[in-house]
Structure 1
């Protein structure tokens, strides 16, 4: 049986507990055994190297050196990593090794909650299969991203809220390899209610399953 660890906490504005419950339900339905933790100390546990998947939901906050070293080593060794929005890409701002693993870091959301469009960049990828460009209402994340990521969906900034970024095409969904591990990230999902959007939920659920290491 595939095994997963969900570590949630940090800033409450991203509904970490509610999001963790959604992931836990999905993972159980998809045949995973699931552990839950509410402290970053879980990342330092040697047993995480045996997991199939880790889902971080921990906006901002701090991570200790031994925690990030063990986490990144586990993913390099083959453990999958997957998550959404600030719970994964606005976590541990001082930990550059963590950001290197994720493949991107949040830096702004001009206009805060706004209407925008998510465009599918790779319709032939199984994670995006059958999904077409769709409207979305949330924070439109402006990211600093690793050029090595494989971009699956994007959004284009209009410049209404920051004129100097008009026309900028920004990754929304991506995947990549970090050592032997698969990493998946989706910048949508400011609040747990956004998981009710069928496109967002489909992408996210497929993404966590793609990232998970297969059983030996």
Structure 2
């Protein structure tokens, strides 16, 4: 039986506990034994190396450190496990806005969230690798959520993108989740194609990420659910 570890927590607005249950529901029917831990220290444990798949759901890690930090021993342990063949997969801020202070984490995952102009709104997701098994049979689709703007690794194998129109409003944050009142229309973003889903390899390990999924119910969106589940299974050892 394959083993997966979900480490959840962080900012509660991304509903990490609900996401954990949905992801367990994706993996357990596929024969996975899923362990869920509510502390980032779990990433430093020896049992990480027994896992076939690691899934972080810890946006900004607020429940563990107000700066969103993770101890270097935990990051190093995850990197070692992935380099040796364990898979890593995640979504939205739970993976690519998890530990803002860890450049090693960002180098591992291949991306870091930096903004979501317009907040939650309607936009289109475009499939760029229709011949990839993860995207097989999936056409471009409309989506209603945050449209992530990210800093991404050019080595990522991009599976889907979204295009900014240039009329989105960038609201500066006073603190996470709270606007400072300053706002700018992002004309300079017009036509920017931003990766939404990608896969990559680090050593012997495989990594999958999808930026969708601000709320837990989005994981049940038909296309999102199919892409995410396939990505989880692809990344797994």
Q: TM-score, normalised on structure 2?
A: 0.89
Aligned to 2:220: 196
SS of the residue aligned with 1:10?
Answer: coil
**Number of positions where the alignment pairs a residue of Structure 1 with one of Structure 2:** 213
Give the whole-Å Cα distance in 2 for the aligned partners of 1:178 and 1:190: 26
Aligned to 2:142: 135
1:20 equivalent in alignment to 2:20: yes
1:23-56 deviations in Å (ceiling 9; x for gaps): 1111111110111100000000012112100000
SS of the residue aligned with 1:6?
Answer: strand
Provide the alpha-carbon RMSD of the alignment.
0.6
Instruction: Please tell me whether Structure 1 or Structure 2 has the larger radius of gyration of its CA atoms.
Output: 2
1:172 equivalent in alignment to 2:187: no
1:77 equivalent in alignment to 2:84: yes
Within-5 A mapping of 1:1-216: 1-61=1-61, 62-161=69-168, 162-213=186-237
The alpha carbon displacement at 1:170 in A equals 0.4
The alpha carbon displacement at 1:196 in A equals 2.2
Give the whole-Å Cα distance in 1 for the aligned partners of 2:221 and 2:77: 34
SS of the residue aligned with 1:135?
Answer: strand
1:125-161 deviations in Å (ceiling 9; x for gaps): 0000000000001000000000000000000000111
SS of the residue aligned with 2:155?
Answer: coil
Q: Which runs of 5+ in 2 are unaligned?
A: 62-68, 169-185
Q: TM-score, normalised on structure 1?
A: 0.97
Report which stretch shifted further, 24-33 or 199-208.
Answer: 24-33
Deviating beyond 6 angstroms after TM superposition, the runs of 4 or more aligned structure 1 residues are none
The alpha carbon displacement at 1:193 in A equals 1.1
Give the whole-Å Cα distance in 2 for the aligned partners of 1:195 and 1:28: 16
Give the whole-Å Cα distance in 2 for the aligned partners of 1:153 and 1:136: 13
Give the whole-Å Cα distance in 2 for the aligned partners of 1:47 and 1:179: 20
